Structure 1
């Protein structure tokens, strides 16, 4: 289907988030025909497997209850005990079949779509109480599909039942001439096999319904291009929100950076456009670390804080630009700048010694050795 100009045609496959949201709402593919088939096959299989024992128990139950003595019949307490014992015997006889049916009723629904418990699907939907919505559902494509499936199921079961009864006609008539016990067992077997063939007839309906339910579920989850874009924005974050987050992160980073400037050994400036603050810890024996860097207004703030805390300011445009572009915050300077920064730190230490009255004033620094690959001329 071609996409309209409004972008409302659902031509895009559902995203994983769309599928997950649908599962949380309980909107997954389910096949009632598959559930019915599973229960029917389990019931008939259980009847065939345990039918002999069930028939024997029922005959024993009937024999016991039809041969009660006169004393038992006139004793109300004895009749109650016989009723309780008969109920217990009947329950134990049908218990295996009931257990098989219980397992089938659980396995059948989860065979398509898997196990799912969605609390949201238990909430009442008042929109379903709207008569107009109800009429719309009655004459919808889904309602027509369900009607066709019901009619097909009826005709399939009818045809299979007619064929089975026609083939078993002689056995059904023969039951009337068999002894009671043999007739009961034979009847159970005939009922079991007949139900099994009828259940197998539902395979055709389930084979059509399962792909249909999967297709309809997929069609409901299809998305328009705009929905895909909106979901991507919601998942990845809208641009304005992401921009605000980045701004807050930059502000927090700048506050931490400004708080670290008083620990610096020297601030190298451009002198106006760039400023970088370095610290060297001789005990660690590693290279100098960049504590702060900035340009224009940030560079001005770095110089102000350095002046307030008596941090040495040193003008070296080439070195300031090289460190600014090659080193990130809290990282060591590149090996190519070791010699230049070592000369700067030595100069700063000599100034400190001179101010403390322990040495001569150092000579001004000349051109610092900066490798061409680290030099930034502008």
Structure 2
């Protein structure tokens, strides 16, 4: 079918889609990347988290036995200490998550910021389109993917907790910090297992998103032709433009014929209009040249303006092939043209007398 999209998207199509904010990216890759890198940072930063938490707990547990009066200053100081402890413990993690998200998103979108994506489009809240999206291939894939994620997540949580569940009763007899370390290590083990499992899902999601994006931006053969016309120019339009340019050039050239000193012709096949101003020009200038019908028009224009004409078949043909309009004649024709111009000047001198 003519409208069937079977062709790969062109570079222009990709640039246009990018301007609209339609770029390829996998959110699962970003999610897994954030979790994985955050996990590594958490492992490295964990001793500091223990230290900050321990200092805060020791400080305020010790105050339980000595504090008899609580006022506004005490509450404000307490909240400040808690805020500082939280920032010291988790601040670097929060900042890292923001930076990682920006980097992973930018790596896929090439840091695209498009005005089109922030425009309000009422078509997006259309109930009909919403229903269509619910039963699209994308929605079904997303549903299947989410069900798989939930199932894997539930299994990992169950298997991880079941392995350490028998250790929980023993926490009653251990020190507070040991209990906290146990909880943190369990959480890290859980995150590690989740990351390993979700890497496979993110790889699948990346391939699916790439396949769907490429499919959506495919072009029909007609679209490829239309784009080619836009880039290269419609042949009909280009032809008309060239025709108009030729007409303008012809008009300008014919307007210069009355300024010529002499027309060298052959006798009707070629016509060359020559002008030479001793004070302004270093060599004779070709004002106009033409072949067949154009030559005929040059001769007619010259006759109307009483321009001297001379027949010289070899010279007319040679100048037509080698000389350019509004340029000096080639060096090898200086001598014959000089002789012709001398003849013209003699005729003009006789006419004056």
Answer yes or no: same fold by TM over 0.5.
yes
Q: TM-score range by the shorter chain?
A: 0.7 to 0.9
C-alpha contact (below 8 Å) 1:45/1:192 kept by paired residues: no
C-alpha contact (below 8 Å) 1:52/1:188 kept by paired residues: no
| Alignment partners' CA distance in 2, 1:292 and 1:285 | 16
Displacement of 1:261 = 3.5
In 2 relative to 1, CA 85–323 (structure 1 residues): closer, same or farther, beyond 3 Å? same
| Higher RCO by CA contacts (8 Å cutoff, separation 6 or greater) | 2
C-alpha contact (below 8 Å) 2:49/2:88 kept by paired residues: no
C-alpha contact (below 8 Å) 1:59/1:181 kept by paired residues: yes
| Aligned residue number for residue 245 of structure 2 | 249
Which segment is superposed worse, 252-261 or 122-131? 252-261
| TM-score, scaled to structure 2 | 0.86
Displacement of 1:263 = 4.6
C-alpha contact (below 8 Å) 2:156/2:193 kept by paired residues: yes
In 2 relative to 1, CA 125–349 (structure 1 residues): closer, same or farther, beyond 3 Å? same
C-alpha contact (below 8 Å) 1:33/1:206 kept by paired residues: yes
| Aligned residue number for residue 266 of structure 1 | 262
> Is 1:121 aligned with 2:117?
yes
| Alignment partners' CA distance in 2, 1:82 and 1:93 | 16
Q: Aligned match of 1:132 in 125, 128, 135?
A: 128
In 2 relative to 1, CA 262–163 (structure 1 residues): closer, same or farther, beyond 3 Å? farther
| Aligned residue number for residue 112 of structure 1 | 108
| Aligned residue number for residue 310 of structure 2 | 314
| Aligned residue number for residue 5 of structure 2 | 10
> Is 1:159 aligned with 2:155?
yes
| Aligned residue number for residue 56 of structure 1 | 51
Give deviations 1:159-218, integer Å, cap 9, x for gaps: 333443344456656544431123223422332232122112110001111111111111
| Aligned residue number for residue 21 of structure 2 | 26
In 2 relative to 1, CA 72–238 (structure 1 residues): closer, same or farther, beyond 3 Å? farther
| Alignment partners' CA distance in 1, 2:278 and 2:169 | 109
| TM-score, scaled to structure 1 | 0.81
Give deviations 1:59-94, integer Å, cap 9, x for gaps: 322333341654651x22332233233323322331
Give deviations 1:8-64, integer Å, cap 9, x for gaps: 222212111111111111112111111110121122222212122122212322333
| Alignment partners' CA distance in 1, 2:140 and 2:34 | 25
Which segment is superposed worse, 264-273 or 78-87? 264-273
| Alignment partners' CA distance in 2, 1:110 and 1:164 | 34
Matches within 5 A, 1:278-357: 278-280=274-276, 288-295=284-291, 298-299=294-295, 302-303=298-299, 306=302, 311-317=307-313, 319-333=315-329, 340-355=336-351
| Alignment partners' CA distance in 1, 2:169 and 2:202 | 34
Displacement of 1:145 = 0.9
| Alignment partners' CA distance in 2, 1:134 and 1:12 | 28
Q: Aligned match of 2:222 in 222, 226, 241?
A: 226
| Alignment partners' CA distance in 1, 2:196 and 2:171 | 25
In 2 relative to 1, CA 221–155 (structure 1 residues): closer, same or farther, beyond 3 Å? same
C-alpha contact (below 8 Å) 2:323/2:330 kept by paired residues: yes
Displacement of 1:106 = 0.8
C-alpha contact (below 8 Å) 1:267/1:313 kept by paired residues: yes
